[in-house]
Structure 1
Amino acid sequence: MRKTAGAEARAVRLARMQELVEAGGPLPIKQAAQRLDVTEMTIRRDLSSADSPLSALGGYVLATTLPGAERYSLDEASDQHAANKRLACERAAEWVQPHDSLFIDCGTTMVHFAEALPPDMPLSVVCYSTNIAAVLSRRPNTQLMLLGGLYHPSSATFFSDEGLQYLNKLGVNKAFISAGGLDPERGASCSNFHEVPVKQAAIRSASESFLIVDESKLGKLRPAFFSPLDAFARIVVGGAPAAAVKKQFKELPVEFARAGGG
């Protein structure tokens, strides 16, 4: 069947938006409307069409397969720690109650956490990662707040002073934080410096904060330190570390999640 003029125009707009997203990452809907000389409502209608390779989330145009999503999928296939990450996240998800307000950090570990949450549980969630938002946006009873700003492909996150100010003013029940390294003396660290103020603001604003890692992170140091370990009500570690490593953390509220619960 031949396309109508309207369908052809929509296809052209979608193709152009796809080019812009592929070139520069998530695109504000307002900017897309200006670039294509149409209204924001037209952009939203285009994105909601069945044949759209794009979607609208948090005021942005995103690829339906988000930038970074393929990379995370490859990590899942090749990451020898994926099973331990999942164990830690499944345990941490048990600490979430209906109607909680949560902050969920970025990273491959936290994708497992978002997937481990009971699918129909009513929640309010703040996040700043497109990968986390992609999982949460499919949940029917979750109110999702995605912090905006400059997009960082290295971690699939947004950062802005405005987003940070909003997070500082926002109170959440529970913050679930990831880390690239845990040292018993120096604390929790990550690889990306732009994540530090977001993690710190989330910890400050939350009634309780929880750290989720797999056992490979224990004893590791990353460039950007963001918190002492005593800031966390609980630390859940997926896997079974060596006895000597485990002993270093015996004075901290650490719980080890193992396959079979042993």
Structure 2
Amino acid sequence: MASFNGDDTRQGRSSPTERLARLAQAVRLDGVMRLRDAAALLGVSEMTVRRDLKHPLSPFAYLGGYIVAAPDTETPYSIDTEKDVHARAKAKACAKALSLVRPDETIFIDCGTTLPHLAVGLSQGMPLTVVTYALNIAERLAGRPSIRLILLGGVYEPASASFAAGPQLALLDQLGVTKAFISAGGLHPERGATCSNFHEVPVKQKALAVALETHLVIDRSKEGLVRPAWFAPADAFTSIISA
């Protein structure tokens, strides 16, 4: 008598490597796939798909019910590489965001290669308090006498020119942040806002929690993409500013 192993009997028709190859083609098209859709596509149970995702040759990660490319299968994020990519669109998106900044506000500026355009574009002489954990933001604002700069320190992460802020995050609870300008490596209508670096997630989420307004600033190349580290649903922002 055949033993019951909690899976369906169709899994014998294909090997894990064959199923992973089919799955790679499907995920490549949309960047993300639901577990149940993957099971239907492959003609196996969700349990089989979960086992396949743990296979040594699997190029995928399973995050919150979705199958995405695993972090180690992507080209590692480097701020030096990314800073010139879509630079004109990034500058245009930040030009739109600048219209939201008012004198005497306390604003949070996220890390990455988009928001330095916002920092550079802040009006000379406008009194502001700026909170950031990004060195490339702080460097652009440190010499401005009208700006009170608050840098959230921690372990420095060279790839993103930012700090993995631990206990320093509590400082955000003590500040009256009016607007938070957030960056993302991907924005998917179902999967939400994601980034490449996991150390950024708690900082982004804390800024989203304390700010009166939250504005996601991205270039349109990020739309539809899913990066390894999820930090917010797509509807978590007061506005999405793109160009």
Shorter-chain TM-score: which interval?
A: 0.5 to 0.7
SS in structure 2 at match of 1:108: coil
Which residue does 2:171 correspond to in 1? 166
Q: CA deviation at 1:74?
A: 6.6
Amino acid of the structure 2 residue aligned with 1:206:
A
In 1, Cα distance between the equivalents of 2:186 and 2:81?
22
Which residue does 1:96 correspond to in 2? 101
In 2, Cα distance between the equivalents of 1:234 and 1:171?
19
Which residue does 1:235 correspond to in 2? 240
User: Counterparts of 1:54-73 in structure 2 under 5 Å?
Assistant: none
Q: CA deviation at 1:155?
A: 0.8
Which of 131, 140, 149 is equivalent to 1:135? 140
What do the CA deviations read for 1:64-105 (whole angstroms, capped 9, x no partner)? Answer: xxxxxxx867755x42x1000000001101100011100000
Which residue does 1:184 correspond to in 2? 189
Which residue does 1:114 correspond to in 2? 119
Structure ID, larger Rg: 2
- Contact map agreement 1:137 1:144 (CA 8 A) in 2: yes
In 1, Cα distance between the equivalents of 2:228 and 2:193?
10
Q: CA deviation at 1:199?
A: 0.2
Q: CA deviation at 1:114?
A: 0.6
What do the CA deviations read for 1:165-196 (whole angstroms, capped 9, x no partner)? Answer: 22234330000000000001111000000000
In 2, Cα distance between the equivalents of 1:160 and 1:135?
20
Which of 97, 113, 128 is equivalent to 1:123? 128
Amino acid of the structure 1 residue aligned with 2:185:
G
- Contact map agreement 2:176 2:211 (CA 8 A) in 1: yes
SS in structure 1 at match of 2:100: coil
Which residue does 2:66 correspond to in 1? none
Which residue does 1:200 correspond to in 2? 205
Amino acid of the structure 1 residue aligned with 2:147:
T
- Contact map agreement 2:111 2:162 (CA 8 A) in 1: yes
Q: CA deviation at 1:112?
A: 0.8
Task: State the TM-score, normalizing by the size of structure 2.
Answer: 0.65
Q: Does 1:216 align with 2:221?
A: yes
Report how many aligned residue pairs link the two structures: 166
Of the two structures, which has the highest relative contact order with CA contacts closer than 8 Å and spacing of 6 or more? 2
- Contact map agreement 1:106 1:155 (CA 8 A) in 2: yes
> CA 1:192 to 1:94, structure 2 compared with 1: closer, same or farther past 3 Å?
same
In 2, Cα distance between the equivalents of 1:199 and 1:169?
16
Amino acid of the structure 1 residue aligned with 2:97:
A
Greater mean alpha carbon deviation, residues 167-176 or residues 122-131: 167-176
Tell me the C-alpha RMSD between the 2 structures: 1.5
In 2, Cα distance between the equivalents of 1:119 and 1:192?
32
In 2, Cα distance between the equivalents of 1:182 and 1:123?
29
> CA 1:118 to 1:234, structure 2 compared with 1: closer, same or farther past 3 Å?
same
In 2, Cα distance between the equivalents of 1:170 and 1:179?
23
- Contact map agreement 1:168 1:202 (CA 8 A) in 2: no
- Contact map agreement 1:168 1:204 (CA 8 A) in 2: no
In 1, Cα distance between the equivalents of 2:127 and 2:174?
22
Structure 1 unmatched ranges of 5 or more: 1-70, 239-262
Task: State the TM-score, normalizing by the size of structure 1.
Answer: 0.61
Q: CA deviation at 1:138?
A: 2.2
- Contact map agreement 2:133 2:165 (CA 8 A) in 1: no
> CA 1:190 to 1:74, structure 2 compared with 1: closer, same or farther past 3 Å?
closer
